[in-house]
C-alpha cells in the first residue's frame, strides 16, 4: 500500500532510547529455533579455533544459512526483517519490506506521533486508530506502526478493539480464540496477551471470540481500567477499532484511549463522513493527533 502522511514533515528525525544490551547472535538463533543449544556451543568452539565470526563459523559448519545470520543480525540492530516462513501476515510490510518507500512514509508518521503524543508522559501511551468506513487501512496502519515502534525499543502493545470484524489475530498469526472480549467479560487475564516472538518488544491482545454485545462490553468500566493499567506496562499502546460510520464503538474506544489517529483512503473515504467523525471525536473529548491518507484500502 502506498500511503501519504498528512502533513508530511520529512525533516523530522527521532532517535529512540538505547535498547537493553543486545543478545549474542548465538542466543538469538537458539531462541528463534534455528539451532539447538548444543549446536550453538559447537559453533562457539569452532569459532574460537578458526577465528571466524559466529555466523560465518556456523555457515562453514553447515549449521546455519546466510538467511539465518541475516535475520539474527537484523534483530541485534533493531531492524528486524522477517523471512517468508515467519508465519505472520504479509500486511506487515514494516517487517517484511523494511526498506520500501511505503515503510519510510510510516516512519515519518511514527516520528510525528512521537513528537505530538507519545513523548510526553505515560498518560499519553494509548492511541486509537480510527476511520470513517471499512477498507480504509486501520488494521494495516495499526499493525505496521506497532512493528516500527517496537523496533525503536519501545514496549509496544496492539489491542484489537474491533469486536465486529477483527483482523489483528490474522495479521500476527494468532489463534484469536482468547482475547479482549474474554478479558472484559472477566473470563481471561494476562494469558490473553500474546508476545510476537519474531518481533521482540511487541505484544498483541487480539479481539477474541466475537461477543453479541460489543458496544456494551467496550463501554464497561473494565475497559477503562484495563487501558489505565496497561499504560504503566507499555510505552506505546495502539488500539484498532471498527468502522466509525457503521458502529459507535470507535468513539467509545477513542475516548478510553484519549487520542485518535484518523485513517482515510484516497477515492474511498467520504469527506462528509470524515468531517462527522472528527466532530464526533471532539465531542467525546478525544484529541485527534493527525491523519493518514492511504493510496489504497486495506481494512
pLDDT number for residue 101: 93
Residue 6: pLDDT band by 50, 70, 90 thresholds? very low
Residue 12: pLDDT band by 50, 70, 90 thresholds? very low
pLDDT number for residue 28: 84
Contact indicator for 202, 150 with CB cutoff of 8 Å? yes
pLDDT number for residue 98: 86
* Alpha-carbon gap, residue 142 to 239, rounded angstroms: 7
* Alpha-carbon gap, residue 65 to 35, rounded angstroms: 11
* Alpha-carbon gap, residue 252 to 218, rounded angstroms: 7
pLDDT number for residue 55: 92
Residues 238-270 have pLDDT tens digits of: 999 999 988 889 999 999 999 999 999 888 888
* Alpha-carbon gap, residue 176 to 169, rounded angstroms: 5
Residue 141: pLDDT band by 50, 70, 90 thresholds? very high
pLDDT number for residue 56: 93
Give pTM, 2 decimals: 0.77
Cβ atoms within 10 Å of 135's Cβ, excluding its own: 15
* Residue partners of 192: CB distance under 8 A and separation at least 6: 178, 179, 180, 182, 183, 205, 206, 208
Residue 122: pLDDT band by 50, 70, 90 thresholds? low
Q: Is the pLDDT of residue 162 over 50?
A: yes
Contact indicator for 251, 288 with CB cutoff of 8 Å? no
Q: Is the pLDDT of residue 124 over 90?
A: no
pLDDT number for residue 18: 38
Q: Is the pLDDT of residue 15 over 80?
A: no
Q: Is the pLDDT of residue 171 over 60?
A: yes
pLDDT number for residue 220: 94
Going by C-alpha positions, the residue among 61, 252, 236 that lies closest to residue 157 is 236
Residue 24: pLDDT band by 50, 70, 90 thresholds? confident
Per the structure block, which three cell numbers stand in for 89?
Answer: 501476515
Angle at 231 between CA 229 and CA 232, to 5 degrees: 80
Q: Is the pLDDT of residue 232 over 80?
A: yes
pLDDT number for residue 73: 80
User: Which element (helix H / strand E) includes 225?
Assistant: helix 221-231
Mean pLDDT over each residue of the chain, to the nearest integer: 86
pLDDT number for residue 86: 73
* Residue partners of 46: CB distance under 8 A and separation at least 6: 52, 57, 60, 61
* Residue partners of 11: CB distance under 8 A and separation at least 6: none
| Residue spans of alpha helices (H) in 51-196 | 54-60, 66-76, 93-96, 101-113, 138-151, 168-171, 180-184
* Alpha-carbon gap, residue 251 to 246, rounded angstroms: 11
Instruction: Return contacts of 44-53, CB within 8 angstroms, 24+ apart.
Output: none
Higher pLDDT, 78 or 75: 75
Amino acid at each position: 500500500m502506498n500511503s501519504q502522511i498528512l502533513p508530511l514533515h520529512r525533516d523530522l528525525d527521532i532517535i529512540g532510547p538505547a535498547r537493553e544490551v543486545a543478545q549474542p547472535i548465538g542466543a538469538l538463533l537458539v531462541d528463534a529455533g534455528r539451532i539447538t543449544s548444543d549446536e550453538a556451543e559447537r559453533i562457539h568452539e569452532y569459532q574460537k579455533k578458526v577465528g571466524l565470526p559466529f555466523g560465518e563459523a556456523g555457515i562453514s559448519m553447515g549449521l546455519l544459512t546466510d538467511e539465518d545470520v541475516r535475520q539474527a543480525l537484523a534483530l541485534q540492530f533493531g531492524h528486524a526483517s522477517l523471512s517468508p516462513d515467519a508465519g505472520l501476515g504479509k500486511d506487515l510490510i514494516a517487517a517484511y519490506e523494511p526498506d520500501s518507500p511505503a515503510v519510510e512514509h510510516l516512519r515519518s508518521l511514527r516520528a510525528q506521533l512521537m513528537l505530538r503524543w507519545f513523548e510526553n508522559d505515560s498518560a499519553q501511551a494509548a492511541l486509537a486508530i480510527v476511520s470513517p468506513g471499512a477498507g480504509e487501512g486501520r488494521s494495516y496502519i495499526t499493525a505496521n506502526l506497532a512493528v516500527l515502534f517496537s523496533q525503536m525499543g519501545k514496549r509496544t502493545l496492539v489491542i484489537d478493539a474491533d469486536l465486529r470484524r477483527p483482523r489483528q489475530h490474522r495479521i500476527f498469526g494468532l489463534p484469536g480464540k482468547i482475547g479482549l472480549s474474554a478479558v472484559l467479560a472477566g473470563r481471561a487475564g494476562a494469558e490473553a496477551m500474546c508476545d510476537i516472538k519474531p518481533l521482540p518488544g511487541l505484544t498483541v491482545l487480539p479481539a477474541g471470540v466475537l461477543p453479541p454485545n460489543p458496544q456494551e462490553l467496550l463501554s464497561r468500566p473494565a475497559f477503562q481500567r484495563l487501558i489505565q493499567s496497561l499504560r504503566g506496562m507499555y510505552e506505546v499502546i495502539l488500539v484498532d477499532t471498527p468502522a466509525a460510520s457503521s458502529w459507535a464503538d470507535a468513539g467509545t474506544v477513542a475516548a478510553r484511549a484519549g487520542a485518535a489517529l484518523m485513517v482515510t483512503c484516497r477515492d474511498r473515504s467520504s469527506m462528509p463522513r470524515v468531517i462527522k467523525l472528527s466532530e464526533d471525536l471532539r465531542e467525546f473529548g478525544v484529541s485527534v493527533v493527525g491523519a493518514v491518507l492511504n493510496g489504497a484500502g486495506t481494512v
